[in-house]
Amino acid sequence: MADSSSFSHTLVLVANRDATSLTPVDIQTARDLVRGGAPVTLSEGEAVEIGCTAPATWMQPDIGAVRDVFAGRGMDVLVTPRDNRRKRLLVADMDSTIVSCETLDDIAAHAGIGEKIADITRRSMNGEIEFESALRERVALLRGLPVSLLERAWQDVKLNTGAVELVRTMRANGARTALVSGGFTFFTSRVAALCGFDENHANTLLDADGMLTGTVGQPILGPDAKLAHLRRLVAAGGLDMDDAMATGDGANDLAMLRVAGAGIAFHAKPAVRREITSQVNHTTLRTLLFAQGYRADEFVTA
């Protein structure tokens, strides 16, 4: 069988290390499904890459058919063109992507109105209601609450596994990194500092005399603004869109995921998974580095 370097695409198979480990049988199965080349280990027992032709040429109908074979084993499958794998720009969503929570929902939970706001968040992130109006509706419910609730909510914020490695490894290899969120600058500024993002952009919660006013600064950073930031950063860096990686989980991320050279849905809502082919459903943000051909011993953690 041909060497991996002779193929136009690369399949990356990644295992959830908390649940399972890649076996020789798993690797051979993936290789057979795509009629691929010799596997290359990216992380022992966790990730391999296999050279292959474009998905349209496989015997299987599409990448979804291959993904389904491994879904029950807690594994993710991504296929990328072999050329230009290492991206020079990362634009990432924050809530439920770089961090494990929805920060607005956490503020509401500390105020005792968590489920009321969380239900609106769920519908908005799945594209059932328009983002900007949903944000205004949720923020209005915070009117009269103390600003100190934001600090309490911050204590609940946890970075998702691989967040620091993703950002710092890409930066160490010359990429520009931006955290672009429909959440709030109170949180993005802190998360950006923890991970090492070059810049961060989000909405602003307005307050007066130590109390939230129930309003958000204008203009609202929604789907169109996320796409605009992606395009701005591509242009500013003298890049092509193919040089960019974008990742997110909600319907407000779709605009940027559709156009980025590598648009990856991360543990995404059903509406997003239906549209975006490249998906991480079982593993961590480390997979976004494996998708670019980084080996685990190349990851930067500090």
- Residues with a catalytic annotation lie at 93, 95
SS3 88: coil
Contact 105, 114 (CB under 8 A): yes
Q: How far is CA 221 from CA 19, 120, 138, 140, 202, in A?
A: 37, 17, 15, 17, 6
Measure the CA–CA gap between 240 and 255, rounded to whole angstroms: 17
The token pair that represents 192 in the structure block:
């950006």
Contact 177, 230 (CB under 8 A): no
Measure the CA–CA gap between 122 and 252, rounded to whole angstroms: 12
Q: Degrees (nearest 5) of the Cα angle 266, 272, 273?
A: 70
Measure the CA–CA gap between 86 and 90, rounded to whole angstroms: 10
Query: Tokens 């496989």 — which residue?
Result: 58
Is residue 255 within a helix (H) or strand (E), and if so which, with residue range?
A: helix 254-259
Bond before 219 cis per omega within 30 degrees: yes
Measure the CA–CA gap between 42 and 32, rounded to whole angstroms: 19
Measure the CA–CA gap between 118 and 109, rounded to whole angstroms: 9
Q: How far is CA 284 from CA 99, 100, 211, 266, in A?
A: 11, 11, 37, 8
